[in-house]
Amino acid sequence: MSINGIFGSALSGLTASQTALGTISNNIANMNTTGYAREVVNQQAQVSGSQLTGVSVSDIQRITDQFLNAEVLTAQGTASQYGAQNDTYTQLNGLLGSPGDGTALTTQLDNVFSALGSASLAPTSSTNQQTALTAFSNLASTISNLSSSLQGLRTSVDQQISATTGTVNALLKQIYSLNTQISSASSTSTPPNGLMDQRDNAVQQLAQYIGIKTQSGPNGQLVVSTQDGVTLVGDSYAQLSYTSSNGTGGYPPIEMSMIDPATGQSIGSTTALDPHLSSGKLKGYIDMRDGALAQLAQELGNFAQTTANAFNAQSNANTSYPAPSTLTGRDTGLMSSDAMNFTGKTTIAITDANGNLVHRIDVNFSTGQLSVDGGANMGFGSTIADFLSTLNGALGANGSASFANGALTLSASGGNGIVVQDDATTPSSRGGTSFSQFFGLNDIFRTSGQPISATGLSASDAGNFAAGGAISMSLKNASGQIVKTASVTLTGSETIGNIVSALNTAFGGAATFTLGANGALTQSLGSAYANDSLSVTQDTTNRGDTGMSFTQLFGVGPDQQANLAANFSVNPQIASTPQDLPFAQASLAGASVGASVITPGDARGLTALQNVATNQQSFSAAGALAAQTTTLGSYAASFYQDAATRSAAAQSANTEQSDRLSTAQTQQSSVSGVNLDQELSNMMSYQQAYSASARVLQAADSLYTTLLQIQ
């Protein structure tokens, strides 16, 4: 080899060692940098013709493992999904309390029955009445507050979804931009490893929010897609759009469209992202908002409805001493032109301050007649207006009856009280509910929705909904995809049966509504949609002066069930007048005017309220709890158990997936991470190589000097 060859070989060695030392320097400097992949210098013999002329650097390689990278992305998605759920359950558990503590439903129920037990010793004691009222109020407040907390948490989660979509959009655009830079840099001699590190870091951040997979493309680009293959970053990039909702009418899907990088405008059609979410925070949040939190709200609404009906059935069958001067009902959704549709018998009585009978009106709904103080029967027509007209005539100067905004009010005059009591053998009934309870005349509890699902309406009854009102519903599958929508716009002339038929036609067999003989509207889903959920997306219908929509009237959709717990409260009349608590029971059977029908020491009404503790109640299916017959306390305990079971499952899954992620990241780090000992060892080796190459240069320089000195 010539002296020039020695010079060239030594210089190539110096250059290669210098490049290697620079790479080692980068590795050591970035040993704690997130997303940094260790680099190694690959060298090759430099050949000119058939002669070795030194060494050259073939490339600077990023050390990564495609399988481990994919495992980290998958583990990142599932860990983030269950992490989001676990964080939400932690907040939920703080709101719910637990059985046995002072804020739990079970504790508040126990307090009610304990207060009633104490009041039974002196039912007319104002202290005992106030204590019982406080217990009822605390139970109502607990139900209402839990409902607000659940809805508030759903709203908070929904806002997290909205914020997360913004973060995802930024990451998708960043990955596309890095792809473009990497593609351009790939044509140069300098490998774009730093850009690739940035891209991998962005991809791993994205995996926290959406379950993704990646595939290598040309010129170093990376194609990013959902786990089921929907492209998020490729020749263009996706952009998500979502607007937070208050939950009324359900929550909209996350919309996704592809963006033309040149114009920044969307291209192609917009699709829903929800069905393509397999993991990540977005999946966790949506599952909590539309799944667990929604189902727990439905269970709470079911408890509220059954609690109200259980206590109200007893309170409407009884009275206070002395009887209240006015009984004000709730909005039933009925209009004065609606048919009474009651059967059986009831008595409306006026009593004085001492509990003596002043006036009685015996009503036989089956025959459409009533009698006053045992006198001759008189007919009262078929509608609510007809009945009120006849009833007011029968009451005369003793009282009055009115009906407005769907609510019935009965009042006694002259400082007297009013009592409503069913016949013991043939009690009044509209769809299975007594006259007083149906109108809510002597309720203890009030709900914000319709607590009685059996409306007593028939298919032939006039709808009485304003023209132009519309009902829109949708069916959503388990993955969040809307698979069927239906909409009906009313003309104002439909019967109830017409509206039901129109809904069935609009759904085309996907969902079927059936109006029962008791006026309850039930729904069933077609076999192809059996696992889907139905929601009311909009209802602008309005029934006369009641302000009630069609779906509110019939309790259609899970939101209506959940809303029964919202603003749950004690009847304002009882809340302001504790002595009106129905602790007594009137003895109207066979009683004549002047007879004592309510006595101050009577606690039969109070006993009936106490018995609610052990009475078996029929609960409909709600959330994850099946239809069942049990006590209020047992159902409340099941509600807490369901929440605890869900929370424990999420916590366990979070721990498991976090461990999986930690293991995957450790394995990835063992391949791609910087090992300081190894780098120091390599550094010493290249230092020695650099020094040796420098010595060769010195030797070659000596040879030149010697040659130049020869004369």
**Same domain, yes or no: 443 and 576:** yes
Contact by Cβ (8 Å): 55, 16: yes
Distance in angstroms (rounded) separating the CA atoms of residues 513 and 556: 10
Mean pLDDT of 104-117: 95
Q: How many helices (H) and strands (E) does the chain have?
A: 16, 25
Contact by Cβ (8 Å): 533, 558: yes
- How is residue 51 annotated by DSSP? E
- Predicted confidence band at 20 (pLDDT cuts at 50, 70, 90)? confident
**Same domain, yes or no: 439 and 482:** no
- Token pair, residue 147, equals 């409902």
Q: Tell me the HSE value of 571 on the side-chain side, using a 13 A CA sphere.
A: 28
- Token pair, residue 202, equals 């962005």
Q: Is residue 149 part of a domain?
A: no
Q: What is the tens place of the pLDDT at every residue in 314-346? A: 999 999 999 999 999 999 999 999 999 999 999
**Same domain, yes or no: 385 and 488:** no
- Predicted confidence band at 36 (pLDDT cuts at 50, 70, 90)? confident
User: Strand 39-48 and strand 51-62: pairing?
Assistant: antiparallel
Residue 107: predicted pLDDT: 93
Neighbours of 642 (CB within 10 A): 17
Mean pLDDT of 290-305: 96
Neighbours of 314 (CB within 10 A): 22
Residue 99: predicted pLDDT: 64
3-state DSSP call for residue 292?
helix
Query: What proportion of the chain, given as a percentage, has pLDDT over 90?
Result: 74
**Same domain, yes or no: 503 and 417:** no
Residue 249: predicted pLDDT: 59
Q: Which residue has the higher pLDDT, 548 or 186?
A: 548
- Token pair, residue 332, equals 């039933």
Distance in angstroms (rounded) separating the CA atoms of residues 297 and 623: 8
User: Strand 222-226 and strand 231-233: pairing?
Assistant: antiparallel
**Same domain, yes or no: 339 and 441:** yes
Q: What is the tens place of the pLDDT at every residue in 401-441? A: 999 999 999 999 999 999 999 999 999 999 999 999 999 99
- Token pair, residue 451, equals 């607590």
Q: Is residue 458 part of a domain?
A: no
Crossing angle of helices 632-672 and 105-119, in 10° steps, is: 160
3-state DSSP call for residue 667?
helix
Residue 330: predicted pLDDT: 97
Mean pLDDT of 90-118: 88
In the block, which residue shows the tokens 């013709």? 49
What is the number of domains present in the chain?
3
- Token pair, residue 469, equals 């009102």
Mean pLDDT of 162-188: 92
Contact by Cβ (8 Å): 597, 355: yes
Q: Is residue 687 part of a domain?
A: yes
Nearest to residue 41, comparing CAs of 5, 13, 69?
13
- Predicted confidence band at 7 (pLDDT cuts at 50, 70, 90)? confident
Contact by Cβ (8 Å): 568, 143: yes
Distance in angstroms (rounded) separating the CA atoms of residues 31 and 17: 21
Those residues whose C-beta lies under 8 Å from the C-beta of residue 275, and which sit 6 or more positions away, are 477, 479, 480, 481
Widest pairwise Cα distance in the chain: 156
Q: What is the tens place of the pLDDT at every residue in 182-233? A: 988 877 767 788 898 899 999 999 999 999 999 988 888 999 999 999 999 9
Residue 189: predicted pLDDT: 65
Neighbours of 121 (CB within 10 A): 9
Q: Is residue 174 part of a domain?
A: no
**Same domain, yes or no: 423 and 533:** no
Residue 1: predicted pLDDT: 60
3-state DSSP call for residue 104?
coil
**Same domain, yes or no: 440 and 574:** yes
- Neighbour-count burial for 396-435, b at 16+ CB within 10 Å, e otherwise: eebbbbebeebbbebbbeeebbbbbbbbeeeebbbbebbb
Per-residue H/E/C for 429-498: EECCECHHHHHCCCCCEECCCCCCCCCCCCCCCECCECCCCEEEEEEECCCCCEEEEEEEECCCCCEHHH
pLDDT higher than threshold 80 for residue 61: no
- Token pair, residue 605, equals 């009404």
Instruction: Give me the residues paired with residue 55 across strands.
Output: 45
Helix extents (H) in 318-454: 384-395, 435-439
- Token pair, residue 60, equals 């600077």
Reported pTM: 0.90
Domain of 432 in residue numbering reads as: 325-447+570-584
In the block, which residue shows the tokens 């080899």? 1
Strands (E) located in 548-703:
569-570, 617-619, 628-630
Those residues whose C-beta lies under 8 Å from the C-beta of residue 538, and which sit 6 or more positions away, are 249, 470, 471, 472
Distance in angstroms (rounded) separating the CA atoms of residues 186 and 189: 8
Distance in angstroms (rounded) separating the CA atoms of residues 159 and 161: 5
pLDDT higher than threshold 70 for residue 62: yes
Distance in angstroms (rounded) separating the CA atoms of residues 302 and 305: 5
Give the CA distances from residue 166 to residues 83, 238, 310, 318, in Å, rounded to whole numbers and listed in that order. 20, 12, 48, 58
Q: Is residue 262 part of a domain?
A: no
- How is residue 414 annotated by DSSP? T
Contact by Cβ (8 Å): 278, 227: yes
Instruction: Give me the residues paired with residue 257 across strands.
Output: 239
**Same domain, yes or no: 434 and 580:** yes
Neighbours of 71 (CB within 10 A): 18
Mean pLDDT of 585-600: 96
Contact by Cβ (8 Å): 298, 559: no
Nearest to residue 239, comparing CAs of 263, 214, 267?
267
Residue 362: predicted pLDDT: 98
Instruction: Give me the residues paired with residue 417 across strands.
Output: 351
pLDDT higher than threshold 60 for residue 158: yes
Q: Is residue 575 part of a domain?
A: yes
pLDDT higher than threshold 80 for residue 24: yes
Residue 230: predicted pLDDT: 95
**Same domain, yes or no: 428 and 481:** no
Q: Is residue 490 part of a domain?
A: yes
Phi, psi angles (nearest 5°) of residue 281:
-60, -40
What does the mean pLDDT of the chain come to? 92
Contact by Cβ (8 Å): 355, 600: yes
Q: What is the tens place of the pLDDT at every residue in 657-711? A: 999 999 988 888 888 788 888 878 888 888 888 888 788 788 877 887 887 887 5
**Same domain, yes or no: 543 and 401:** no
Q: What is the tens place of the pLDDT at every residue in 515-526? A: 999 999 999 999
Residue 646: predicted pLDDT: 96
Q: Is residue 334 part of a domain?
A: yes
**Same domain, yes or no: 345 and 421:** yes
Which strands sit side by side in the sheet containing 533-539, from one edge to the other?
Answer: 482-489, 470-476, 533-539
**Same domain, yes or no: 398 and 491:** no
Distance in angstroms (rounded) separating the CA atoms of residues 493 and 466: 9
